[in-house]
Amino acid sequence: MTLIKDIINQNKRLANISKIISDLSEEIKIDSFLVGGCVRDLMLNPLAEAKDIDIMVEGDGIYFAERLAKKIKVPKIIPFKKFATAKIPNGDFEIEVASARLEKYSELSRNPSEVVISNIENDLLRRDFTINAMAVSLNKKNFGEFFDPFKGMEDLNNKILKTPFDPNTTFSEDPLRMMRAAYFSSKLSLNIDPICLESIKNNSERILIVSQERKTNELFKILGTKKPSVGLNILQESGVMDFVFPEIAVMYGLDQSNEYHHKDIFYHTLEVVDNAAKLSEKLDLRLAALVHDIAKPKTRRLSKSKGYTFYGHDDIGARMLKGISANMKFSNSTRDYITKLTALHLRPISLAKKDVTDSAIRRLIVDAGDEIDELMQLCRADITTKNPKNVIKYLGNFDRVEKRIKEVIEIDKLKAFQSPVRGEEIMKIFDLPPGKEVGKIKTMVEDAIIEGKIKNDYSSAISFLNKIKKAKK
């Protein structure tokens, strides 16, 4: 008890809000508790600054939130009356207050069909995992008392993920918990209890009742962990991936052995994602790593001389991602980003030759645009061979390409390429109305710049246009 008090008091922000909540609980005679993820994280890292907290009260959670908001001078709460919860937005420190409750579910929805106000014991019982079913009293009579009825602390120490209740019920009632199991396993390096894992396998198809937005959000959370492959592999092994991202699931078991890859497509992809995670925090880059070979199952062919080939998987994959992005509810910016990187991810490999022309480099710079650096990160992440000599060779190739890119960018300032002439000027010089012909001539100017035939400036472009006009006469 004393230890937990000390932990709370060490955390200045948490200590301040806990005192206010404790005083309020005493004032309005409603018992309050610190619960859920914030307790788990506090136990894992007592010195980490609390970013948000979850409060459970044995009474009216919305009323408690209103009173608490006034105490901390927050003008408005965000109530969710159906679930007896409320959020108190407080800058970068969000507080959520919920009534202790029991929940009843219908077969066709993960949202509770009925919420019954209850007590701390029943509230902890309904939670997803034992590591999230711990609580700390904020009441003056027993401030700091630790509630851990399902041995969540023991499971944390033993690096195991269990449910406080029958796992079949837990996952059937709210199937998103299956993806959350994969997320916590990945984030906290936990092994899923075998009984729970078997239950996830048995209930995997239930994930279909969850909205695509929630599934995609959970997928991004997995991608945001230090080693995303852990969570992604759990989704695959449990069968959940079949219903969350079937285009990834079909990669499993498809051999691609050749000079560059020695794993099946799925495990190669997981390694690329982990490599990307080491290189960047950007979620869209990690997603691009996940989908860059999305068309390999469709393009896989066996050649007697070359082994398995995947001709055109870059272009076909880019086209596939437009429909996949719509199904997965990716944002337009995410769709455009992963489509571009998938379409271009083989280009730097072809440019690693010593005799490659500046114009080819220029075309890559223009096509990649602002994503040129992240494209090269994806290419480096795509090196998964375990042969040290090959790793050195491939990295050296990319070093050479990046050096050439920098040289060309410095010379031509093409990273943010814009045609120096506008369509209006072309129409005036050629006496043309708006139409396709204007676009064709504009493209001729841009191609001439990219290929190094003319300088990337206004006067050179105008001179080039006049030459075209003269040639047309």
In Å, how far from its chain's centre is CA 90? 25
Strand partners, 103: 115
| Residues ≥6 apart with Cβ < 8 Å to 399 | none
| Residues ≥6 apart with Cβ < 8 Å to 388 | none
Burial of 227 (C-beta count, 10 Å sphere; 0-12/13-18/19+): middle
Cα 376 to Cα 36, 370, 399: the distances in Å are: 40, 12, 9
Return the CATH architecture of domain 160-244: Orthogonal Bundle (1.10)
pTM of the model: 0.84
What integer pLDDT is reported at residue 273 of this predicted model?
A: 98
CATH of segment(s) 2-157: 3.30.460.10
Specify whether the CB–CB gap between 379 and 349 falls below 8 A: yes
Specify whether the CB–CB gap between 284 and 335 falls below 8 A: no
What integer pLDDT is reported at residue 396 of this predicted model?
A: 86
Pick left, alpha or beta for residue 116 (phi over 0 → left; psi -120 to 50 → alpha; otherwise beta).
beta
Name residue, tokens 């711990």. Answer: 134
CA distance 372 to 363: 11
What integer pLDDT is reported at residue 417 of this predicted model?
A: 64
- The two three-digit tokens of residue 22, written as one number: 């404790």
Q: For every residue of the chain, which 3-state class applies, written as one string?
A: CHHHHHHHHHCHHHHHHHHHHHHHHHHHCCCEEEECHHHHHHHHCCCCCCCEEEEEECCCHHHHHHHHHHHCCCCCCEEEHHHCEEEECCCCCEEEEEECEEEEECCCCCCEEEEEECCHHHHHHCCCCHHHCCEEECCHHHCCCEECCCCHHHHHHCCEECCCCCHHHHHHHCCHHHHHHHHHHHHHCCEECHHHHHHHHHHHHHHHHCCHHHHHHHHHHHHCCCCHHHHHHHHHHHCCHHHHCHHHHCCCCCECCCCCCCCEHHHHHHHHHHHHHHHCCCHHHHHHHHHCCCCHHHHCEEECCCEEECCCHHHHHHHHHHHHHHHHCCCHHHHHHHHHHHHHCCHHHHCCCCCCCHHHHHHHHHHHHHHHHHHHHHHHHCCCCCCHHHHHHHHHHHHHHHHHHHHHHHHHCCCCCCCCCCHHHHHHHHCCCCCHHHHHHHHHHHHHHHCCCCCCCHHHHHHHHHHHHHHHC
39-77 burial, b if ≥16 CB within 10 A, otherwise e? bbbbbeeeeeebeebbbbbbbbbbbbbbbbbeeeebeeb
- The two three-digit tokens of residue 436, written as one number: 């396709």
pLDDT averages per 10-residue partition of the chain, 473 residues: 75 90 96 94 85 92 96 94 90 90 73 78 93 96 94 96 94 95 97 97 96 97 98 98 97 75 83 97 98 95 80 95 97 98 93 78 91 95 84 84 85 66 90 90 86 87 91 77
What integer pLDDT is reported at residue 318 of this predicted model?
A: 97
Strand partners, 54: 35, 96
pLDDT in tens, 177-229: 999 999 999 999 999 999 999 999 999 999 999 999 999 999 999 999 999 99
Would you list the domain boundaries of the chain?
A: 2-157, 160-244, 280-391+400-411, 423-472
